[in-house]
Amino acid sequence: MNGNGSRRIALLVEYQGTAYGGSQYQKNAPTVQGALERALGTLTGEPIRVAMAGRTDAGVHARGQVAAFPTESQRRIDVFVRGTNAHLPEDIAVHAAASVPAEFDPRRHARRRLYRYSLDLGSERPALYREVVWRVGPSLDLAAMAAAARHLEGSHDFAAFTAPSEARRRRTERVVHGTALVRRGKAASFDIEANAFLPHMVRRIMGTLVEVGRGKLTPEAFERLVREATPGEASRTAPARGLCLIKVRYESGLFDDETDEDLQPFG
């Protein structure tokens, strides 16, 4: 807090992204950022502009999105949780709040991001969880997929897993700290944690891994995609609905006490 009474607050946010055009503000679609700013504006009586840790696509969900904003409000931290939730739609919820330094940027200061992609392996389509899984059926070779996924780990050029236009305009090297593919009955989840991700990178990785699981691509061919890094070559893109931003990690340990036991860092 500085001399004029302003402060910066960080929020831990969960949302189901089905009804939104993405996490960050757009002119022609509802967004998570827009809903948060309206709720916070109502709570504080101020015009609020929120910065977010990760840009999630339309239909992508989050359990651990981090948002931050400046405010003159001197409300207690717990009031920012309860008060903001009172003004949010039911598919967005704030789970924790914390005071952070004025210079805190939830995107630039993030060290790692953990995403989880959920697959339905049942022989019949799901009803209850249809908006948060990709139904792929029971015949996937998960062992082959896990073997292929291990080639992602470490520092690589991931140009193959983003659009060629994106590969031309930005650096495409990223560090993947770990991957995990776990089956739970008729469901499976794929976790990937990295320092940062390219647009559509996780969905292209998942789409390509499913091709491996269906026997249309070998783990060795998947490794070649990683090694040769031809922009856009891994074009099979998994649906947005199965993807969830699970955790954003910071040097300060911000919100680490909110982490579930199954969300421990790789490495």
Q: Annotated active-site positions, please?
A: 57
Rg of the chain over Cα atoms, rounded to whole angstroms, equals 19
Write out 118-182 in H/E/C secondary structure: EEECCCCCCCCCCCCCEECCCCCCHHHHHHHHHHHCEEEECHHHCCHHHHHHCCCEEEEEEEEEE
Phi and psi, residue 108, nearest 5°: -65, -30
Token look-up 């003159």 returns 72
Nearest to 205 by CA among 248, 148, 137: 148
At how many degrees (to 10) do helices 142-149 and 219-228 cross? Answer: 20
Our measurement of the distance from residue 46's CA atom to the centroid of its chain's CA atoms, rounded to an integer in Å, reads 28
Nearest to 20 by CA among 50, 68, 56, 69: 56
- Cα dihedral 201, 205, 206, 210 sign: positive
Nearest to 238 by CA among 194, 205, 196: 205
Nearest to 167 by CA among 198, 144, 139: 198
